[in-house]
Amino acid sequence: MAQIQFGDEVENVITRDEWPLTKAREALKDETIAVLGYGVQGPGQALNLRDNGFNVIVGQRKGSKTWDKALADGWVEGETLFEIEEAAKRGTIIQYLLSDAGQIALWDTVKKHLTPGKCLYFSHGFGITFKEDTGIVPPEGIDVVLVAPKGSGTSLRRLFLAGKGLNSSYAIFQDGTGRAKERVISLGIGVGSGYLFETDFRKEVYSDLTGERGILMGAIAGVFEAQFNCLRKRGHSPSEAFNETVEELTQSLMPLVAENGMDWMYANTSTTAQRGALDWRHKFREAVAPLFEELYDSVASGNEARIVIESCSAPDYRDRLEKELADLAGEEIWRAGKAVRALRPESSD
């Protein structure tokens, strides 16, 4: 294993050098990987596995938009594309990549095909961690593992096609065969991970739900909106407000952070920007720290999971979600963003 040193703490990680693709393919040469779900993570993971030479089939509800997407991606009905239950029956490794609500709804259908020796794979610890609410309790005699790419399936696929990788966490919840580790590491390499770091199902879902509601999505959207609205209220044009709030961050500064870290990004900006950022970061940190503590407590208590389950199981949820997303898209900041993106030379908007 490779090691990353964080002060006195040492973290073990698994890289492609230690577990090359040839080793992963050899470990899974007799397996049929059934990817159930073709929404967020399913396409990227399934296509990467297929392109890496693994035996992959896809299970999806026939007649759905995602079934049609799978056909468009080259999966063949009756050969590599099946209804969900048929794919679960055929697979020796079942990648359970339906939405959290979908996993709950189809658990009884999938569970009966989890015969001894099979492997149940997740990319999110939700169903297992909150089993009292989800009812997802795997049978004995099977492996239960997790590989969670730290990004969307779209990003996983794009990086794969660019010859890069998206880092992933991995975990073993149940080793029913003695092969759980070689299976999960091989799958992690197969789906296109840059490197793999170990966690457990509970930590994965706690960090994931906190991150999604926090800096990755909820917090960043809220901060974007607050600054944009402040600039607009003070008389700045939509274009100026959007460029100073979103465009410069996403197109210029974040790539610098990704390349070499926040300190390197600071070092490559003006002295005026450096001084202001170094002073104000403390104020922003102290302002939001209580929110993150509140958020983590809500996740750890199971409250966020219960909200998700209750909301997503409502019969009108899809309609309400579409309205919420339409309202978000209709806000001035994102209407300005659409106009700005249309002016990019490479834009296809």
Could you list the active site residues? 124
Return all residues near 215 (Cβ < 8 A) that are at least 6 apart. none
Beta-bridge mates of residue 238: none
Q: How many angstroms separate the CA atoms of 115 and 103, rounded?
A: 18
Q: What pairing do the DSSP bridges indicate for beta strands 56-59 and 193-198? A: unpaired
Q: φ, ψ for residue 55 (rounded to 5)?
A: -85, 105
**For residue 145, which of 116, 178, 123 has the smallest C-alpha distance?**
123
Query: What is the number of H-type helices and E-type strands within the chain?
Result: 19, 10
**For residue 170, which of 156, 185, 150 has the smallest C-alpha distance?**
185
In Å, how far from its chain's centre is CA 57?
21
**For residue 136, which of 105, 165, 179 has the smallest C-alpha distance?**
105
H-type alpha helices, 195-302: 201-213, 218-233, 238-242, 248, 254-260, 262-267, 271-300
Q: How many angstroms separate the CA atoms of 173 and 241, rounded?
A: 47
Q: Dihedral through CA 131, CA 11, CA 208, CA 144, nearest 10?
A: -30
Q: How many angstroms separate the CA atoms of 283 and 39, rounded?
A: 39
Strands (DSSP E) contained in the chain are 2-6, 9-15, 33-36, 56-59, 81-82, 93-96, 119-122, 143-149, 166-174, 193-198
Take residue 122 and report the two structure tokens written for it. 């997740």
Q: How many angstroms separate the CA atoms of 48 and 158, rounded?
A: 10
Q: Which three-class secondary structure state does DSSP give residue 264?
A: helix
